[in-house]
Amino acid sequence: MSAPVAAVAVVFACALPAGAATVSGSVFNDYDTNGLRDTDPDSGAVDVGVGGLTVRALTGTGAVADTATTAADGSYALRAPDGRVRIELTVPSPWQPTRQLNGLRSDEQFVDASSVVRGADFGVHHPHEWSFDAPEVYLPMQWAGPTDARNTGADAIRALSYFTTPLGDAPPGPPPPLWSNQPSRRVLARFGEVGTIFGLGVDQRGGALYAGAYYKRYTGLTPAGAGAIHRVTQGGAVSLWADLQAGADAHPTSRAIDDWTGPAPANRDMQWEPVGKRGLGSVEVDPQNRNVYTVNLFDKQLYRLPLDATPPVRPAAATPIPDPGCQGGEWRPFSVGFDRVSGAAYVGGVCAADASQSTADLRAVVYRVGDPAGSPSFTQVLSVPLAYERIPVGAVSTQFFSSRWQPWPTPASLAAQAPRGATVLTPSDTTRGTRVVNGATTSVQDESYPQLTAISVLGDGSLQLGFRDLMGDMSGNTLSGEGPPSGNGISPTIQGDLLRASPAAGGGFELESGGVVGGVRGFGAGTNYGPIGPRGGYFYDPRPGAAPTSQPTEYQGGLLQLPGFRDVLTTQTDVDISNDNGLLWYDNADGIRTRRLRNYVTQGPNEGFGKANGLGDLDAYSGRAPVQIGNRLWYDVDSDGLQDAGESSVADTVVELLDDSGVVIDNTTTDSSGEYVFAIGPDTPYSVRVPLAQSSLDGWAVTQAFAGSNPRIDSNGVERDGRSVASVAAHPVGHNDHSYDFGFDRPRPPRPPEPPQPPLEPPVEPPLAPPAPPQPQYAGAEPSPNAPMVLVKYLVRRTAGRVTLRRLQFAMVIRNAGPQTVSRVRLCDNLPRLLDVLGATRLARRFPRARQVCWNLASLTSGQARTFNVLTQLRRRVLLGLLVNRARAIAQRVRPAHARAVVRPRSAAPRVTG
């Protein structure tokens, strides 16, 4: 890891006056872009300081007064001259500015440095790390038998809030929350609809899930087979989305669950060899929500399928995942993961050592995939030998059910290792006996076969690696026929793993060692639990939740790491009591368990898988980052088109947002700093405009646009039909843009007329009449005899109190922007049916049947503006949809003018809050 960045202040040559003051603040990663520095890990992502960014102070003339680099905790300090200064944050890619909310300003701020300024904070974020504060988590479940037998209606994909109710205590402690008592719980798909699944990806645009078929003994697939990917909507609609060739379905053809799990080998499911070699591994949606990626276990290729293609979707690409040079056996890829900051993809798997049966040949390998959506290339970044110790020192029962990682079994290896005279049919057969390891007697039927099934990436770039014990997919739960002839077989106890690797020099990664990773110390060896783990210690606490003295590392290989969240979420068995399965959370700062949830308890051989695997991978619907635009209206007194620190803001002025067809869809009013913001949709163009017929702009004109080279301080508005209008380009997800500024300067006086040219010869005709005086120029619309009137309408306020948000006051400003006086002017406010009139500007006439309030004016002289107000009250207590209030103005021999105001439900008057 890089060393902390020290705070540095560089003072430029211009001397600061004696009254210079300090301006200080911090820059933080605002994961949810709410403008607040969130610190509670039990309510969402924890915002942290961002080091290494540049902050500058600029004087009223634009000179740089001071520059600082943020420290590791995000803090900075600047020396600024006495008076108003502009503070600018340089936001380098891939960072983006956060939204302007809850008092936090944009990446450009104006402060008064006549005294010490504290709290001049900035927020930044990575767009694809955004998440709801309490996202919904999805949990795949696996059930015995064919999909159309008695488990057909069993829950296959469950959903619940990331923050369970109540937040469960870390074990050992009070009983944890149960699935059955979660208010947020719901079921999205049944076993009969999707079959057995492990991999799960979520399209963050709308929350659709993509569930990949997984080959597991005793549990069936849908008719689409081992390569099916089903799409599941948030409403629970299930459809076949893609059907890949991922190997034949070797499960029994009988549709009776008792045949699959019964004692007669002729009828039961004896096909354990396809596990890990057929079906699909990880299923992931890329951070851009463009493609689904999955590893085909049958042909060992990375598949890319476009999200917006028409089902059944054909792969856009299938790329072989290279063998990393496995010795003594096959290369078995499985997992896919993404770094949401860099966009890098990772693919992982294991060297199975199935031919040599030597643990020295067992290792896990991770590739970084370059250009996964184009021409993928694979660079090996991590290799993990899997011969480390996993059998703890402790009670005999703990040792008996524990196992080191073992090479993947084959029929030949089972026969070679069988006790004399025994016939061993499956890896979980109890006739395999015991073996002594380091003086401890262990059960051979409990040995563990590794697969790297999940890869997630932390904010610092570290990798989290989830391992699944494939013995838990080659076996069942206390099923007869594999144990003594007189009784049920013993359910094997799975042992997966959870490891972590930190970034290393050269672009690779360094595995945790002795409970330490990247200089951070975790759980370590632990009392009566060591030395196990890589080099004698795990970073994450390996003890099960049910009995801390029992066998360790009962992970099922599912992982979920949400950006900025304190914990990593895992799937496990024995989280609370024996034979249950559920979720355990671990603190990434120290590896300690923080909470747990019991999902269900296996009641019988056909009701779950006990201490074997019964859960798939995890994913969450975290949504997409919103997009916000805005910034400032100012009086450009020097008419240079640039915002100077000493130039005043234009407050209490209406700003309108228009869609691409020119329809007003929102409006707001600038705050005391002259600033405004709008929420817009991603990848969609808009425009923003400021009507000029407002009292705050009386006597002011639109200043020059796009002056200078700094888009953060220029003006974007161009005058059009009595308004200053700026085009807004389409913005990607999370790309907030506070550079749409509008400047206004004083109209320049007209040029004096050119003097007449002296005649070359004495005139013989009467002298010419003197030139006509120049016509005055007006801020607003271009003079026109047919359309000189400009009408603006906006919401002034909503009244608080017992009738909160029910009383609405509207204002209308009518202005003659033409060169001639217009006469017989009539202005009418056409009220919607939801509004009743309480009062209006004097001389108003009411027409109840027409629902109009009107005013008559004898005339409006050139440049004259009049303001009229109407106070109304909603007939309903709550506004459920948009309310549109329109107005119309007419005059003699001119074109009518129209305007409208839009009111949105459940919000205060549209004012900037940040």
**Residue 750: Cβ within 10 Å count:** 11
Higher model confidence: residue 675 or residue 877?
A: 675
**pLDDT, position 398:** 66
Rounded to two decimals, what is the model's pTM? Answer: 0.83
Mean of pLDDT values over 670-678: 96
Mean of pLDDT values over 338-347: 96
**pLDDT, position 277:** 98
**Rg of the Cα atoms in the chain:** 35
**pLDDT, position 421:** 82
**pLDDT, position 300:** 99
Higher model confidence: residue 366 or residue 483?
A: 366
What phi and psi values does residue 539 have, to the nearest 5 degrees? -70, -50
Choose among 495, 467, 614, 490: nearest CA to 551: 495
**pLDDT, position 802:** 46
Model confidence band, residue 751 (pLDDT cutoffs 50, 70, 90): low
Residues 292 and 305 sit within 8 Å (Cβ to Cβ): yes
Mean of pLDDT values over 646-658: 96
Taking only the tens place, the pLDDT of each residue in 687-712 is: 999 999 999 999 999 999 999 999 99
**pLDDT, position 579:** 86
Choose among 558, 556, 553: nearest CA to 533: 553
Taking only the tens place, the pLDDT of each residue in 520-536 is: 999 885 555 668 899 98
Q: Which SS3 state, helix, strand or coil, does residue 192 take?
A: helix
**Burial grade of 68 (CB within 10 A; 0-12, 13-18, 19 or more):** buried
Instruction: List, as one string, the DSSP characters of 626-668.
Output: -EEE--BEEE-TT-SSB--TTSPB--S-EEEEE-TTS-EEEEE
Model confidence band, residue 446 (pLDDT cutoffs 50, 70, 90): confident
DSSP assignment letter at 706:
S
Structure tokens given for 909: 């008057």
Mean of pLDDT values over 170-175: 76
**pLDDT, position 182:** 95
Mean of pLDDT values over 1-23: 47
Instruction: List, as one string, the DSSP characters of 527-591.
Output: TTS-S-STTS-BSS----SS-TTS-S--EEEEEE--TT-SEEEEEEE-SSSTTEEEEEEEETTT-
Percent over 90 (pLDDT), the chain: 65
What are the structural domains, with CATH classification, of the chain?
A: 1-127 (2.60.40.10), 136-419+432-621 (2.120.10.30), 641-653+671-749 (2.60.40.10), 789-903 (2.60.40.1530)
- Cis status, amide bond into 759, omega within 30 of 0: no
With tokens 């002795």, the residue in question is: 514
Q: How far apart are CA 843 and CA 29, in angstroms?
A: 56
Structure tokens given for 20: 């210079």
Taking only the tens place, the pLDDT of each residue in 281-322 is: 999 999 999 999 999 999 999 999 999 999 999 999 999 999
Taking only the tens place, the pLDDT of each residue in 518-577 is: 999 998 855 556 688 999 899 999 988 876 667 789 999 999 999 999 999 999 999 988
Q: Order of strands, edge to edge, in the sheet holding 883-890?
A: 845-847, 852-860, 822-830, 883-890, 897-903
Across 269-283, 364-378, 418-432, 650-664, least confident range: 418-432
In the chain, the amino acid numbered 398 is: T
Model confidence band, residue 760 (pLDDT cutoffs 50, 70, 90): low
**pLDDT, position 397:** 55
Q: Which SS3 state, helix, strand or coil, does residue 193 take?
A: helix
Q: Does the pLDDT value for residue 762 go beyond 70?
A: no
**pLDDT, position 481:** 47
Percent over 70 (pLDDT), the chain: 88
Q: How high is the mean pLDDT of the chain?
A: 88
Residues 407 and 419 sit within 8 Å (Cβ to Cβ): no
Mean of pLDDT values over 48-59: 97
Q: Does the pLDDT value for residue 84 go beyond 70?
A: yes
Mean of pLDDT values over 869-877: 82
Higher model confidence: residue 470 or residue 602?
A: 470
Mean of pLDDT values over 213-219: 96
Across 196-200, 436-440, 732-736, 822-826, least confident range: 436-440
Mean of pLDDT values over 443-459: 94
